Chain A
Amino acid sequence: MNNNETIRRFPCTVCPMGCELTVDVDKLTVTGNGCPRGAAYGVAEVTHPTRTLTTTVALRGCDRVVAVRTDKPIPKELLLPAMDFVRDYVAPENVQPGAVLVKGFMGTDANLVVTGK
Chain B
Amino acid sequence: MANEKTNALPEIKVGLLVIGAGPAGLAAAVAAYDRGVRDILICERQDFAGGILPQCIHNGFGLKRFGEELTGPEYAGRYEKMAEERGIRIEYGATVTKLSHDRHATVLSDKGMRVYAADAVILAMGCRERPRGALPVVGTRPAGIYTAGCAQKMVNRMGLLPGREIVILGSGDIGLIMARRMTLEGAHVKAVCEVMDHPGGLRRNIVQCLDDFGIPLYLSTTVVEVEGDERVTSVTLAEVDERRRPIPGTERKVPCDTLLLSVGLIPENELTRQAGIEIDPVTNGAAVRENRETSIPGVFACGNVLHVHDLVDFVSEEGEIAGNAAADYLENAKKIETAPVAKIVAKNGVRYTVPELIGNGNTPKVTVFFRVSDSFRDATLIAENENGQILAKKVRRMVPGEMQRVDLPREKLVGTVTLSVATQG
Q: B-contacting residues of A (Cβ < 8 Å)?
A: 10-16, 18, 51-56, 58, 63-65, 67, 69, 76, 79-80, 83, 87, 97, 115-117
Q: How would residues 184 to 202 of chain B score, 1 for a CB under 8 Å from any chain A CB and 0 otherwise?
A: 1110000000000000001
The answer to whether B60 touches A15, judged by C-beta atoms less than 8 angstroms apart, is yes
How distant is A18 from chain B, measured CB to nearest CB, in Å?
4
8 A-B pairs in the complex with CB atoms less than 8 angstroms apart: A13-B204, A15-B69, A15-B204, A16-B402, A51-B212, A56-B57, A67-B156, A117-B48
| Main SS at interface, chain B | helix
The CA of A65 and the CA of B185, in the complex, are separated in Å by: 13
The answer to whether B310 touches A16, judged by C-beta atoms less than 8 angstroms apart, is yes
How distant is A67 from chain B, measured CB to nearest CB, in Å?
4
Measured as residues with beta carbon below 8 angstroms from the partner, the interface class of chain B is 20 to 34
The answer to whether A115 touches B159, judged by C-beta atoms less than 8 angstroms apart, is no
Name which residue of chain A comes closest to B64, CB basis.
A15
Residue of A18, A79, A116 touching B57 (CB-CB under 8 A): A116
The answer to whether B77 touches A56, judged by C-beta atoms less than 8 angstroms apart, is no
Name which residue of chain B comes closest to A55, CB basis.
B184
The answer to whether B155 touches A56, judged by C-beta atoms less than 8 angstroms apart, is yes
The answer to whether A52 touches B204, judged by C-beta atoms less than 8 angstroms apart, is no
Residue of A63, A65, A69 touching B59 (CB-CB under 8 A): A69
B410 within 8 A of A: no
A11-B207 contact given A54-B71, A64-B159, CB 8 Å threshold:
yes
Residue numbers in B under 8 Å from A16 (CB-CB): 60, 63, 202, 204, 310-311, 402
Residue numbers in A under 8 Å from B59 (CB-CB): 52, 54, 69
How distant is A76 from chain B, measured CB to nearest CB, in Å?
7
The answer to whether B155 touches A115, judged by C-beta atoms less than 8 angstroms apart, is no
Residue numbers in A under 8 Å from B73 (CB-CB): 67, 97, 115-117
The CA of A54 and the CA of B370, in the complex, are separated in Å by: 31
Residue numbers in A under 8 Å from B186 (CB-CB): 83, 87
The CA of A73 and the CA of B158, in the complex, are separated in Å by: 26
How distant is B74 from chain A, measured CB to nearest CB, in Å?
5
Looking at B77, B155, B204, the one whose CB has the most chain A CB atoms below 10 A away is: B204
Name which residue of chain A comes closest to B75, CB basis.
A115
Residue of B54, B63, B155, B206 touching A117 (CB-CB under 8 A): B54
B58 within 8 A of A: yes
B208 within 8 A of A: yes
A18-B158 contact given A83-B184, A116-B54, CB 8 Å threshold:
no
Residue numbers in B under 8 Å from A11 (CB-CB): 203-204, 206-207
The answer to whether A83 touches B159, judged by C-beta atoms less than 8 angstroms apart, is no
B141 within 8 A of A: no
Residue numbers in B under 8 Å from A116 (CB-CB): 54, 57, 71, 73
A64-B204 contact given A15-B60, A51-B212, CB 8 Å threshold:
no
The CA of A27 and the CA of B155, in the complex, are separated in Å by: 43
The CA of A116 and the CA of B73, in the complex, are separated in Å by: 5
Residue numbers in A under 8 Å from B402 (CB-CB): 16, 18
How distant is B60 from chain A, measured CB to nearest CB, in Å?
7
The CA of A45 and the CA of B353, in the complex, are separated in Å by: 37
Residue numbers in B under 8 Å from A18 (CB-CB): 202-204, 402
Residue numbers in A under 8 Å from B207 (CB-CB): 10-11, 13
Name which residue of chain B comes closest to A79, CB basis.
B184
B160-196 residues at the A interface, CB under 8 angstroms: 184-186
B365 within 8 A of A: no
B198-221 residues at the A interface, CB under 8 angstroms: 202-204, 206-208, 212
How distant is A77 from chain B, measured CB to nearest CB, in Å?
10
Looking at B48, B58, B60, B71, the one whose CB has the most chain A CB atoms below 10 A away is: B71
The answer to whether B159 touches A63, judged by C-beta atoms less than 8 angstroms apart, is yes
